[in-house]
Amino acid sequence: MGSVQLVDGVLNYQLDGPADAPVLVLSNSLGTDLHMWDTQIEAFTQHFRVLRYDTRGHGKSLVTEGPYSIEQLGRDVLALLDALHIERAHFCGLSMGGLIGQWLGINAGDRLNRLIVCNTAAKIGNPDMWNPRIEMVLRDGQAAMVGLRDASIARWFTPAYAEANPAQAKRITDMLAATSPQGYAANCGAVRDADFRDQLGEVKAPTLVISGSEDAVTPPAGGLFIQEHIKGAEYAEFHAAHLSNVEVGEPFSRRVIDFLLAR
């Protein structure tokens, strides 16, 4: 664990794996923290120096006044890389992390080796969906976060997975209940305002897009759109809901590793 001082606060991060291995950055989804990637760490650290961090407004990272923007969150990643003297890295982000990955691919491709965007879209939802949620969270505070946690199990996992793995589902959804309401609302604003549909052609890094066939939050159509608009991008789909890295575990990890190690 460590922290990097930004202009307006600290960004919490964790480094695992061999110091001389290529760096793989993992970016969390809205309402989780860096531990959403715990399932992947044993496999990933056999090949990579894994850099996880809590996105601004989440976990132990800074919470500043919102709304945020995906550009702001992308620049946080660049500041983290700069502070750790990492010139280039692989990047894997899920949902909101996938939006951050798209921004980096479009605007900071010289810092990326390979890019993986999971359970995401070039545009996620619309203001009619996001604004009531933002208003509710700012009004009701932590009670709203607990309510969102209870509703998130059905969005984040298939019923079969949640029933068979209640402890794992609880571990992940408890992250949402623990998230700062101010930070969560500010990040909802960032997701609401992001739209990369017309810019995906600018991504030059080799890219893998991963979707979940049962993902109602970011259905496969959104992933296929990204894959079709980034030249040479690969596509993989798993039987999973929104948090495919947690739900399918080893197959997800293997697909990512195979893509990153490919010649």
Rounded-to-integer distance, Cα 168 and Cα 193, Å: 31
Tokens representing residue 152 in the block: 């998130």
Predicted pLDDT at 263 = 82
For 2-261, which CATH class?
A: alpha beta
Predicted pLDDT at 224 = 98
Predicted pLDDT at 119 = 98
pLDDT in tens, the chain (263 residues): 899 999 898 999 999 999 999 999 999 999 999 999 999 999 999 999 999 999 999 999 999 999 999 999 999 999 999 999 999 999 999 999 999 999 999 999 999 999 999 999 999 999 999 999 999 999 999 999 999 998 899 999 999 999 999 999 999 999 999 999 999 999 999 999 999 999 999 999 999 999 999 999 999 999 999 999 999 999 999 999 999 999 999 999 999 999 999 98
Predicted pLDDT at 179 = 96
Predicted pLDDT at 238 = 98
> Minimal CA–CA distance to 195: which of 216, 222, 227, 221?
222
- Please provide the DSSP assignment of the chain as one string: -EEEE-SSSEEEEEEES-TTSPEEEEEPPTT--GGGGHHHHHHHTTT-EEEEE--TTSTTS---SS---HHHHHHHHHHHHHHTT---EEEEEETHHHHHHHHHHHH-GGGEEEEEEES--SS---HHHHHHHHHHHHHHTHHHHHHHHHHHHHHHS-HHHHHH-HHHHHHHHHHHHHS-HHHHHHHHHHHHH---TTTGGG--S-EEEEEETT-SSS-HHHHHHHHHHSTT-EEEEES--S-HHHHT-HHHHHHHHHHHH--
